[in-house]
Structure 1
Amino acid sequence: MGHHGWQGNPPGTEQEARRRIVEAATACLDRAGLAKTSLSDIAAEAGVTRQTVYRYFPGLADILGAVAIAGVEEFAVRMERHLTSFDSPAEVAAESVVFGVRAVPEERYLSLLLQAGEGDFFTGAVTSREWLALGARILRNVPVDWRSAGVTTDEDFAGLAEVLMRLFLSFLRSPSTPPHTDDQLRELVRRWIGPALNPRG
């Protein structure tokens, strides 16, 4: 691992190097915004060359993704808190889609994935193993009677999370014309996903 630069304080591990590049990117974004942040700016902020940054990230979009993911835990906490006000698995499923569609574009760092300038970048992030595992964890932590809906195993939660996240992604990337209101979107998801989560006798 190259140790040149780094403002005289080289990282000890590759993980530390990546973390410091992400922190440098976050500082640049906070100061100048996405439109005025380049890979060269991030390298300068970290005290390294562009070549060093490329050693850890293929391009700017990948750095933006890392910045966004660094803030995803806070987003997950807010989503969990919101979903706990709903009483059934079907309601939680519908509301998770509505919350994601409305909240992600307003998130300071998560929204960077939408603006990264590469059409499949956001799709790749949301459907990654890490994000799907996060979705499953959020659902599992919401205190509704998942067992009554037949959702009991890790595989069940993972599958439901993937369906909901892909649905959320579709509505986010390709909104209806005219766009659905929150209530319309909520009802649409309840109508077609809800029956699969109704209590089973």
Structure 2
Amino acid sequence: MDSGPVAARTDDNSTQERILRAAYDCFEQYGIGKTTIENIASRAKVSRPTVYKYYPSKDAILDEISVRETWRVNSEVRRRLVRSDDFADFLSDTLLLVIRLANENIYIRRMVESIEFQESVISPSSLMQQLQRTWWANMFEQARARGDIATDLEIDECIYWLARAQAMLMLQVASPQIDDAEKRRFIRRFIVQPLLAGSEIR
């Protein structure tokens, strides 16, 4: 029985997972900015060329980890959300829950606090931006069909803005000194309101 290709794929998956696990450990120990590919390779017990076989740069590793952790948070958000017919209320509640859960995730929080990471994910082609589109696009398309979204905005613009706003909210609004009611008011007034129908710039 020929199990070579299957064994090779399993080997590849195992090596890739070791590299990612090593990256998690190094980011926790050294911080994102100070971690090097050499650190990750050493922790994973592989060579630098082996790391580069799977990830062309540290940014690519960060993208992969950010996608995994964000997917985990978004899955939890979907599980907890209560559907509302009012788009503004639903979007405000969704953002508040995303911020709360993301802020509890040490990897997402560390990444958001890293200027290096923020610069790596603002590109429309980054994995993080693709994930944001997957998460928000359906909600915004339904809102557009109902006439809830300002007519001078494209859906991709709204999603890009929300991705940046989430990072800002984690840094500025996620303080335990600000209660949920005040956070929600801030989100509704300054993040959600400008996206709504009737807020068009004339």
Where on the TM-score scale, by shorter chain, does this alignment land: which range? Answer: 0.5 to 0.7
Give 1:35 shift: 0.6
Give the distance between the partners of 2:83 and 2:141, measured in 1 at CA.
10
User: Which is further off, 70-79 or 136-145?
Assistant: 136-145
- Residue 182 of structure 1, aligned match among 180, 183, 192: 180
- TM alignment of 1:42-57, pairs within 5 A: 42-44=40-42, 48-54=46-52, 56-57=54-55
* Closer/same/farther in 2, CA of residues 174 and 57 from structure 1, 3 Å limit: farther
Q: How many residues get paired?
A: 185
Give the distance between the partners of 2:9 and 2:43, measured in 1 at CA.
15
Match of 1:194 in 2: 193
Residues 6-25 of structure 1: per-residue CA shift (max 9 Å, x gap): xxx8779xxx96x6554113
Match of 1:132 in 2: 129
Matched, 1:99 2:134: no
RMSD value, Cα: 4.3
Structure in which a larger fraction of residues adopt helix: 2
Supply the AA of the counterpart residue of 2:17: E
- Residue 113 of structure 1, aligned match among 111, 125, 141: 111
* Closer/same/farther in 2, CA of residues 157 and 131 from structure 1, 3 Å limit: farther
Match of 1:3 in 2: none
Give the distance between the partners of 1:133 and 1:33, measured in 2 at CA.
23
Normalised by the size of structure 1, how large is the TM-score?
0.64
- Residue 23 of structure 1, aligned match among 17, 21, 24: 17
Unaligned runs of 5+ in 2: 1-6
Normalised by the size of structure 2, how large is the TM-score?
0.63
Percent of aligned pairs with the same residue? 18
Residues 88-129 of structure 1: per-residue CA shift (max 9 Å, x gap): 2112322233223222232264345246xx423135326644
